[in-house]
């Protein structure tokens, strides 16, 4: 079209400027039309329609509902679990409380029983003390025609320098080893004789009577760690009183022979010793 207008202009030189202006405007309009045509030729931008937007929104709502439902479900489940746990704890506490109450009742019964046992023991202890006191009185202060006469040593014991000795003249079938003899003395609140000086040695030897059945009386002297030791833990101070120490040997006293070292497992008579009573 532009070429045609140019041809017209060239064939008609007498056309006025006004006509030229018309031609320029026509060319401008044609250019605008061509531009519009070009724009219309470009593909249009497509926006989703309402029908296309509905499915995604539905999915979002469904997802939200599921999430809320799950939260509500787990919240309710947690509440149920807490409630069950509380019931379990309450039940366990109740059982423990019952158990403690039973134990407390049992302890109360045991406490009352112990109180009664202590009371009975105290009563028995008092009775025993009275019995022992009466026994001591009878032993140390025996009755005679003039009433009671008290002595430093009980009946059957010999007194020498505030010491009481009891020679046990047992027959052979009743004689004892050194350890057995010591146990017998301890049962009489005494121990095998300990001699600390010549006077006591002479007294015990003089009262160690010999006979056909008695070959010696045990005294509280025994070899320990290669030394002669008394039952009170002291060492023998005069080694001339007896033979040199040999392990496994104990001392006996006999009137006709003095002191001898013999096997501790031999059977012999024995002499006990304890302090005299001051009267």
Which pLDDT belongs to residue 194? Answer: 96
Q: Is residue 267 part of a domain?
A: yes
Which pLDDT belongs to residue 128? Answer: 76
Which pLDDT belongs to residue 131? Answer: 75
Distance between CA 276 and CA 274 in Å, rounded?
A: 7
Domain count, the chain: 2
pLDDT band at 120 (very low <50, low <70, confident <90, very high): confident
Helix and strand numbers (H, E) in the chain are 5, 10
Q: Is residue 106 part of a domain?
A: no
CATH number of residue 240's parent domain: 3.10.100.10
Q: Give the strand pairing for 217-224 and 269-275.
A: parallel
Which pLDDT belongs to residue 231? Answer: 96
Which residue's structure tokens are 């000795």?
165
Q: Hey, CA dihedral for 184, 186, 189, 190, is it positive or negative? A: positive
Q: Is residue 252 part of a domain?
A: yes
Does the model's pTM come out above 0.75? no
Q: Is residue 185 part of a domain?
A: yes
Burial annotation 81-108 (CB, 10 A radius, 16+ → b, else e): eeeeeeeeeeeeeeeeeeeeeeeeeeee
Contact 126, 120 (CB under 8 A): no
Question: Which range, of 35-49, 60-74, 237-251, 262-276, averages the lowest pLDDT?
Answer: 35-49
Q: Is residue 65 part of a domain?
A: no
Q: Is residue 109 part of a domain?
A: no
Tell me the two tokens of residue 17. Answer: 């400027």
- Which domain covers residue 163, as residue numbers? 158-275
The three-state DSSP-derived secondary structure of 193-221 is CCCCCHHHHHHHHHCCCCCCCCCCEEEEE
Tell me the two tokens of residue 87. Answer: 């019931």
């Amino acid at each position: 079209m532009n070429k045609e207008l140019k041809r017209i202009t060239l064939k008609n030189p007498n056309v006025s400027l006004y006509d030229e202006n018309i031609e320029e405007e026509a060319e401008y309009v044609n250019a605008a039309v061509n531009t519009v045509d070009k724009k219309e030729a470009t593909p249009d931008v497509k926006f989703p329609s309402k029908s296309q937007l509905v499915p995604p929104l539905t999915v979002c709502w469904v997802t939200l509902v599921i999430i809320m439902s799950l939260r509500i479900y787990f919240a309710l489940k947690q509440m149920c679990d807490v409630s069950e746990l509380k019931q379990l704890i309450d039940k366990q506490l109740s059982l423990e409380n019952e158990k403690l109450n039973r134990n407390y009742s049992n302890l109360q019964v045991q406490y009352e029983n112990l109180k009664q046992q202590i009371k009975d023991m105290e009563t028995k202890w008092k009775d025993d003390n009275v019995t022992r006191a009466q026994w001591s009185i009878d032993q140390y202060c025996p009755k005679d025609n003039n009433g009671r006469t008290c002595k430093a040593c009980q009946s059957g014991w010999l007194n020498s320098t505030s010491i009481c000795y009891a020679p046990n003249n047992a027959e052979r079938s009743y004689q004892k080893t050194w350890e057995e003899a010591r146990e017998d003395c301890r049962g009489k609140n005494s121990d095998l004789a300990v001699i600390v000086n010549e006077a006591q040695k002479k007294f015990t030897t003089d009262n160690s009577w010999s006979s056909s059945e008695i070959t010696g009386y045990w005294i509280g002297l025994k070899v320990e760690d290669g030394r002669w030791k008394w039952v009170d833990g002291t060492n023998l101070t005069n080694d001339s009183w007896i033979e040199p120490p040999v392990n496994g040997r104990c001392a006996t006293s006999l009137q006709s022979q003095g002191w001898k070292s013999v096997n501790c497992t031999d059977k012999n008579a024995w002499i006990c010793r304890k302090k005299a009573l001051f009267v």
